[in-house]
Amino acid sequence: MRLLVTATFVKATKKLQPSQKTELDTAVKVISVNPSIGEAKAGDFLGARVYKFKLSQQLCLLAYRMLDEESIKLLSFGPHENFYRDLKRQGE
């Protein structure tokens, strides 16, 4: 599975502690094994999926888009608060 990332995603990962990066990597591996695991979104986010996972005992959302059978684009991740507003601003 080929993973593509947005600049927003890369910027957010740079702020994480090593243990948090491990938890994020685990969530990304789960998505790469089963891309349909995330909840499909509608409206402004049509085509995007959101996977919920725990990051340092806090619920976080990871937005991604399946480009084709072998490619996933990781859009953004973060806590639920303002997540969809920020995702909409980034234009994905």
Task: Kindly report, residue by residue over 35-62, the tens digit of the pLDDT.
Answer: 999 999 999 899 999 999 999 899 999 9
Residue numbers of the domain that contains 18:
2-89
Mean pLDDT, residues 21-25: 95
Torsion angle, alpha carbons of 47, 53, 55, 58, to 10: 100
Q: Per-residue pLDDT tens for 59-79?
A: 999 999 999 989 999 999 999
Strand-pairing partners, residue 2, are: 71
Number of domains in the chain: 1
- What confidence tens digit (pLDDT) does each residue in 9-18 have? 999 899 999 9
Query: CATH code at 50?
Result: 3.30.2310.20
Q: Is 34 helix (H, G, I), strand (E, B) or coil?
A: coil
Is the model's pLDDT at 92 over the cut of 70? no
Predicted model pTM:
0.91
CB 28 within 8 A of CB 54: no
